[in-house]
Amino acid sequence: MEKNLDTSSYEPLTVDEVIRRIAEALGPNWMAVMEVQPETVRTWRKRGEVPVKQLLRAAQKSGRQVEHFNSPDAPKSQPSESPAAEDDEFTQIDMLGARISAGHGAVNGAHKVIGKFAFRTSWLQSKGLNKRNAKIVRVRGRSMADRINDGDILLINTSINTLTQDGIHVIELDGEDYVKLLQRDFTTGGVRVISYNPDYPLQVLEGEAVNRLRIVGRVIWHGGEL
């Protein structure tokens, strides 16, 4: 028999926190596991709650209690005393408190670990990632819409700090953090800093201006509606 959900004794969690817990328990393809679409998740956010039947499904799929997903008193995931072996089925990746700008820049300072997400170890290895060089950050702003949107999370490879190939990177420019598409300009030796949103102009760094750019990591994966 399913346990009744008594929510009268505590302040309910935010939808974002409930969804974060579901994603942490089920991994990066959690929406496919739950058989829901991004539009469904947007409806949860608009209504301010995740339906109980979805919490029950998350519990069934993950093998955890329903309270893990909607109770503030649920025990938080703790790192193991010894590092997990790289051939374990899942690897926990740190999520940092940094919010990377997809807009006009954000200064984050020290990056505190605020949670963890589980990824299949085999998939991480196929991307050249492990718990030491992989980090998760959240996006703020709309300069990369509609490919990367406000509130999305990014999985980045922090061991990539040079522009060896074009692609989406987390960068620091003039002391502020951004997520941008970087393209090498072989004619001038410069770098083109591109936003997907046409409302944000192209930046071209040439000569000494290139030295203002620091690559924090390359974006390997991103997840929406979180």
Q: What is the pTM of this model?
A: 0.60
Q: How far apart (Å, rounded) are the C-alpha atoms in residues 102 and 31? A: 24
- Do 138 and 65 share a structural domain? no
pLDDT on residue 12:
58
CATH of the domain at 178: 2.10.109.10
Residue 218 has pLDDT above 90, yes or no: yes
Give tens-digit pLDDT for 178-192. 999 999 988 888 999
pLDDT on residue 105:
54
Which range marks the domain in which residue 187 is found? 90-223
- Do 63 and 117 share a structural domain? no
- Do 120 and 51 share a structural domain? no
Give tens-digit pLDDT for 52-111. 778 888 888 887 777 788 766 554 444 333 333 444 688 888 888 777 877 665 555 556
Q: How many domains, the chain?
A: 2
- Do 30 and 101 share a structural domain? no
pLDDT on residue 225:
54
| 118 assigned to some structural domain | yes
Q: How far apart (Å, rounded) are the C-alpha atoms in residues 28 and 93? A: 11
| 52 assigned to some structural domain | yes
Buried-state track 42-55, b at ≥16 Cβ within 10 A, e below 16: eebbeeebbeeebb
